[in-house]
């Protein structure tokens, strides 16, 4: 079965002296993205609470990940007030770069075919 989505993961070091650091050591993000529309279909984060998981899911699902993520980062900066904020932003930036790289690789592959 050919998948219509891709799964992108990324991590950043969690801030010390936080529950995220004590439990995971890293802030992790896993995104399922539709290959054609580039829309985030599903998301998971290494948060300890279900509320934080749910909040970020609602914040990020539906975002077009092929576009600039600056507006999304600004939203996280203003609405997610926690010690792990920067780690989450770094992980999101890494995931975004990986996705952009994968788009470029797919484009090159199609050109060669």
Q: Are 11 and 23 within 8 A, CB to CB?
A: no
Q: Which pLDDT band, with edges at 50, 70 and 90, does 58 fall under? A: very high
Question: Residue 75: pLDDT above 90?
Answer: yes
Percent of the chain at pLDDT above 90?
Answer: 60
| Alpha-carbon torsion, ordered 14, 56, 30, 2, to 10 deg | 180
Give the chain's end-to-end CA distance (angstroms, integer): 21
Q: Are 72 and 63 within 8 A, CB to CB?
A: yes
Question: Residue 23: pLDDT above 80?
Answer: no
The confidence score (pLDDT) of residue 33 equals 98
Structural domain boundaries of the chain?
5-112
**9 DSSP β-pair partners:** 30
- Prediction pTM value: 0.88
Average pLDDT, integer, range 14-28: 76
CATH number for region 5-112:
3.90.1010.10
3-class secondary structure, 45: strand
Question: Residue 54: pLDDT above 90?
Answer: yes
The position carrying tokens 């932003």 is 89
**11 DSSP β-pair partners:** 28
Q: Which pLDDT band, with edges at 50, 70 and 90, does 111 fall under? A: confident
């Amino acid at each position: 079965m050919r998948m219509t989505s891709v799964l992108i993961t990324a991590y950043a070091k969690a801030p010390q002296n936080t529950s995220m650091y004590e439990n995971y050591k890293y802030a992790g993000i896993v995104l399922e993205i539709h290959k054609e529309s580039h829309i985030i279909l599903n998301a998971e984060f290494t948060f300890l609470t279900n509320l934080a998981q749910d909040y970020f899911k609602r914040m990020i699902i539906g975002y077009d990940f092929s576009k600039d993520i600056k507006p999304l980062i600004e939203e996280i900066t203003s609405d997610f007030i926690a010690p792990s904020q920067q780690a989450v932003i770094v992980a999101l930036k890494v995931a975004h770069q990986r996705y952009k790289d994968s788009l470029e690789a797919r484009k090159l592959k199609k050109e060669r075919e």
